[in-house]
Structure 1
């Protein structure tokens, strides 16, 4: 019984510690993220949330070994791990490079003219739409982090600021409608000829058209 209790306590402590790690990560990087926001007008909440998501709050291998907090690919000189991700001198350099990519690379640089430093949703949707992430759920996950840890408080929104409303993209599962096509029988045609022309079988033609005998008449409509 004592062992079970100890295990449960250890398990719960691990969960709490993990949540505290994220809070500690935010505390360690929020000042630098806000400095980037002041200089470049991209929300600090966006910078922090993307970093948290891409680096598992600094716990990923590429964050630990390469100081890469944004999943940026490129060459590295690290001998400890084999990775296709680039390395940085420190976390601040990784943060600065992310903002630099947003400013200098198309189509990301177009986002600065569309969204202000307070509109974190617009920025996240825009970054996703520009191809930063392939996952359809990326935007909702990053926005979820901003809301969970109230990262928008670091964006220094003016009093009375109203968030723009964005429609959440909905994936609709639609069944493809199969249109029935017909072929007009010509003199000399038979089911074998028509089946070859339409890349089907005689059996399927007979079933689809309710034909019991293979006798066809010119002008007759055959479904395929």
Structure 2
């Protein structure tokens, strides 16, 4: 009898763990995220990824006890935990407040006129620049979650949508002078990650070059591209 009870308890624990998976969290909240996307024109993928990041996919204490899925600080009336984070009557109200918070701050509100509901990368970077989080890798982590769980599939992108080419980044390069001294210079590089549906000819046209030039620059023997492949543009 004791063995049966232990086995049942083990099955119950497993079912609870499964119910707390990130995939289940996404399925539970994607509809509301998409509703907000259609009203406010910001990516549903971004909303979901920020919530997953800030609430540990609903498993954090402030998510469980305060319905706070975006790490927003403020007063709360909880008798269950002591926290510097505000509480919400429902999870949906936490989602709603996240969007209204972005609208209420000038440095976030400008993003609504700058980026569309498909450009999750620039949305994440723009929110980080506005000071939403202290971590310098916050936007990278959010973008990684979007890619890992393919959250961009919920953004209702047109079939012919092409992601903007990332801006040119500058990296410091050290050069040796004729006298053996090292001097610093700046070299512009642009590394592009190939997305599903990308075409080498189209990429070349967008940056004002040819597919042959891109193939030579990247040492490619074929024009066929694979998602995740890195290209020097």
> Which bin holds the TM-score, normalised by the shorter protein?
0.5 to 0.7
* Residues 104-136 of structure 1: per-residue CA shift (max 9 Å, x gap): 212100101110001000100000010001101
Q: Does structure 1 retain, via aligned residues, the 8 Å contact 2:20–2:59?
A: no
- In structure 2, stretches of 5+ residues that fail to align are 1-9, 175-183, 185-233
The number of residues matched between the two structures is 162
Please state how far the C-alpha of 1:57 moved relative to its aligned partner.
0.0
Secondary structure of the equivalent of 1:140?
Answer: helix
Structure 2 CA distance for aligned equivalents of residues 46 and 93 of structure 1: 17
Structure 2 CA distance for aligned equivalents of residues 84 and 47 of structure 1: 22
Q: What CA RMSD, in Å, does the superposition of the two structures yield over aligned residues?
A: 2.5
Q: Does structure 1 retain, via aligned residues, the 8 Å contact 2:108–2:130?
A: yes
Structure 2 CA distance for aligned equivalents of residues 18 and 34 of structure 1: 24
Secondary structure of the equivalent of 1:107?
Answer: helix
Counterpart of 2:113 in structure 1 is: 113
Please state how far the C-alpha of 1:79 moved relative to its aligned partner.
1.1
Structure 1 CA distance for aligned equivalents of residues 143 and 108 of structure 2: 18
Structure 1 CA distance for aligned equivalents of residues 168 and 57 of structure 2: 26
Give the TM-score normalised by structure 2: 0.64
Structure 1 residues 128-143: aligned runs within 5 Å: 128-143=128-143
Structure 2 CA distance for aligned equivalents of residues 138 and 95 of structure 1: 19
Counterpart of 2:90 in structure 1 is: 90
* Residues 21-74 of structure 1: per-residue CA shift (max 9 Å, x gap): 100000000000000001111110000000000000000000000000000000
Larger Rg: 1
Q: Does structure 1 retain, via aligned residues, the 8 Å contact 2:53–2:142?
A: yes
* Residues 162-214 of structure 1: per-residue CA shift (max 9 Å, x gap): 10122487887x99xxxxxxxxxxxxxxxxxxxxxxxxxxxxxxxxxxxxxxx
Greater fraction of residues in strand: 2
Structure 1 residues 177-216: aligned runs within 5 Å: none
Structure 1 CA distance for aligned equivalents of residues 169 and 59 of structure 2: 31
Using a 3 Å threshold, how does the CA distance of structure 1 residues 87 and 19 change in structure 2: closer, same or farther?
closer
Give the TM-score normalised by structure 1: 0.67
- In structure 1, stretches of 5+ residues that fail to align are 1-9, 176-224
Structure 2 CA distance for aligned equivalents of residues 79 and 146 of structure 1: 35
